[in-house]
Every structure is written in C-alpha cells, then in structure tokens.
Amino acid sequence: MTVISTEAAYADTWVIWFHAPGLAREPEPGQFVMVHCSAEGTDPMFARAFSYHRVERDRFAILFHVTGRGTTWLASRKRGDAVRAYGPLGHGFRLPDEPGNLLLIGGGVGIAPMVDVAERALTKGHQVVAMMGARSSGHLLPAAAWPKEVEYVVVTEDGSAGPKGFVTQHLGQYQEWASQIYACGPNAMFQSLADVLRFNGRRQRPEILMEENMPCGWGMCYGCAIFTHHGVRLCCKDGPRFNLFDVY
Ligand SMILES: Cc1cc2nc3c(=O)[nH]c(=O)nc-3n(C[C@H](O)[C@H](O)[C@H](O)COP(=O)(O)OP(=O)(O)OC[C@H]3O[C@@H](n4cnc5c(N)ncnc54)[C@H](O)[C@@H]3O)c2cc1C
Ligand code: FES
C-alpha cells in the first residue's frame, strides 16, 4: 500500500489513507486488514489488525489509537511511504436487505468501523443512528466524520459532551427504535450491552465486532481463541463478527 495522507483525528488517534486497489476491493463492513507496522517486518514482527474505517474506490482509511510500538510507527508514516498489509479478513456485519433502522454503537476507537458501516447502510436505504461512548469530549470522533444523513449521539464518562456515563446506559429511545443493533468496543462494553439488552433487545439479534489480539489474522496461529456459548472460536477466522448473545 502507499500512504496518501496521515492526519490527527483527535486525542492520540489518527486517520491514515492508503492507496491499495487490492485491499480496497469491496470489503464487507466490519472486516479488517492486517498491517505490518515496521519497514522490514522484523520488529514488531506480527502485523496489527485494523478495521476498515472508510473505503473509496482504490483507497481506504483506518482510524487508529496510538497504544504501542506498531501504532506509533504507523502514525509517523508520510505521504508516499510504502506499508505492507494483507486483507480483507474475517466476517463483517450482515446488513439487512430490507430498509430498516440501524443503531451503531462504538466504544472508544471501536467507532472506527462504524463510519464505513454507516456509508454502506445508507446506500441500501437504511436509517442510521450512531452512538459513541468516550472518556471525554476530547476523545470523540468529530461529527464531520459522518455522512450528513447519520444522527450522531455522543456520551462521555465525565459528562463533558452529551449525557454523562457509559454509552450503554443511554440507549434510551434508540433501543426501541432500532430494528438492528451493531456494536464494536471493549469487552466491558459488550458485557454491559448484553446486560441492558438481555430482556428486551434479543429481537434485534445484536451483532458485535470483537477485538482479540491477533498475531496472524487468518486462522494459522490459534492465538485469538475466544469462548462462546457454542465452544471455542477463532476471532479472526470465525469472527470478528459474533452475535452478542452467543458470547455474553
Ligand atoms: C479485528 C480487529 C480490529 C481492530 N481495529 C482497530 C482499529 O480500527 N483501530 C485501532 O486503533 N485498533 C484496532 N484494533 C486494535 C489494534 O490491533 C491494536 O491497537 C494494535 O495491535 C496495537 O498495536 P501496537 O503495536 O501499537 O501495540 P502493542 O501493545 O505494542 O502491540 C499489540 C499487539 O502485539 C502483541 N504484543 C505486544 N508485545 C508482545 C510481546 N512481547 N510478545 C508477543 N506479543 C506481543 C499484543 O498481544 C498485541 O497483539 C483492532 C484489533 C482487532 C483484533
Ligand atoms: S490470529 Fe492467528 S488464528 Fe486468529
């Protein structure tokens, strides 16, 4: 891939666009790409997993939070730099064929895949509400990142933007409105979402994207096993999309 641009999005979080005709060829919403975050591929040796954040013709973007060596390296890439990657990988969300009301929930950088999901959902005639939960106002994806048709609702833990608390505490009217719910975020958010939806959200068969550590990304290393109610599954190969109530 060739870097087109690297820009700061918000606190320690970056958007990087790549020119990559092969990798941008019709990924499903919620699939991911494995990016080698070193020039030679030796240190760090394993590629890092990132969701497709936006896809346009022969290019795509990832939205990523700088957490360690790989993402620090990635944030310092400049226009024209070459980066090695492979994908698209895993199974993405299943969007309904009939137009419906889709509620997208992102916790922290788990919001990354939701912009691509929203863009595709809109082309299929769905109504979209996107909810993001973050620590504070400085950790929110800017509203300008969304297509104008999307209603964007924010919740912060300190109350500096939107209602105070966790996003799962403020689903309110949107939970009833939604015909389908999709979520991506930390495991604690999924647990809380399951607790909230357990008694009246099952009809929506909520789907989640899980983010287990993935050394290989395509079923070779067994490093990403997760426990579901139906046995052990590989997050990369069987997921990362799971039904919420199959795991929680
Ligand atoms: C399907 C999926 C989609 C994701 N999408 C996004 C996204 O869109 N945006 C985003 O910001 N993040 C995303 N993530 C998380 C992202 O992959 C991590 O934030 C990223 O791997 C961090 O890399 P790092 O090198 O900066 O961090 P580090 O903490 O340095 O390394 C992270 C990875 O390296 C492994 N590792 C680190 N040190 C060692 C060691 N000594 N020995 C063995 N293994 C080690 C960890 O287990 C982990 O897999 C996603 C993860 C998954 C699984
Ligand atoms: S990351 Fe290697 S098997 Fe899933």
Residue 125's pLDDT is 97
- Examine residue 37 and state whether it is found in any structural domain, yes or no: yes
Q: Are residues 105 and 40 in the same domain?
A: no
Residue 201's pLDDT is 66
Q: Counting atoms of ligand 1 from 1, which one is nearest the CA of 213?
A: 49
Q: Counting atoms of ligand 1 from 1, which one is nearest the CA of 72?
A: 26
Q: Are residues 114 and 68 in the same domain?
A: no
Residue 81's pLDDT is 96
- Is any ligand 1 atom within 6 A of the Cβ of residue 123? no
CB 157 within 8 A of CB 134: yes
pTM: 0.95
- Is any ligand 1 atom within 6 A of the Cβ of residue 201? no
Q: What angle do CA 234, 132, 16 make, to 5 degrees?
A: 70
- Is any ligand 1 atom within 6 A of the Cβ of residue 180? no
Integer Cα distance of 93 and 54 in angstroms: 15
Q: How many angstroms separate the alpha carbon of residue 81 from the centre of ligand 1?
A: 21
Q: Are residues 83 and 132 in the same domain?
A: no
Q: Which of 115, 87, 106 is CA-nearest to residue 189?
A: 106
Q: How many domains does the chain have?
A: 2
CATH number (domain holding residue 180): 3.40.50.80
220 burial (CB, 10 Å; 0-12 / 13-18 / 19+) is exposed
Residue 169's pLDDT is 94
Sign of the dihedral through C-alpha 193, 199, 201, 206: positive
- Examine residue 235 and state whether it is found in any structural domain, yes or no: no
- Ligand 2 residue neighbourhood (C-beta within 6 Å): 214-217, 219-224, 234, 236
Residue 41's pLDDT is 64
- Examine residue 94 and state whether it is found in any structural domain, yes or no: no
CATH number (domain holding residue 6): 2.40.30.10
CB 171 within 8 A of CB 195: no
Could you say which ligand is closest to the alpha carbon of residue 211?
1
The range of the structural domain enclosing residue 153 comes to 101-209
Q: Are residues 6 and 67 in the same domain?
A: yes
Residue 31's pLDDT is 98
- Is any ligand 1 atom within 6 A of the Cβ of residue 112? yes
* Average pLDDT, 10 consecutive residues per value, the chain (248 residues): 97 97 94 92 87 97 96 96 96 96 97 98 97 97 97 97 96 93 97 90 86 95 96 97 96
Could you say which ligand is closest to the alpha carbon of residue 212?
1
CB 64 within 8 A of CB 50: yes
Could you say which ligand is closest to the alpha carbon of residue 217?
2
Residue minimizing CA distance to atom 31 of ligand 1:
68
- Examine residue 219 and state whether it is found in any structural domain, yes or no: no
Q: Are residues 189 and 113 in the same domain?
A: yes
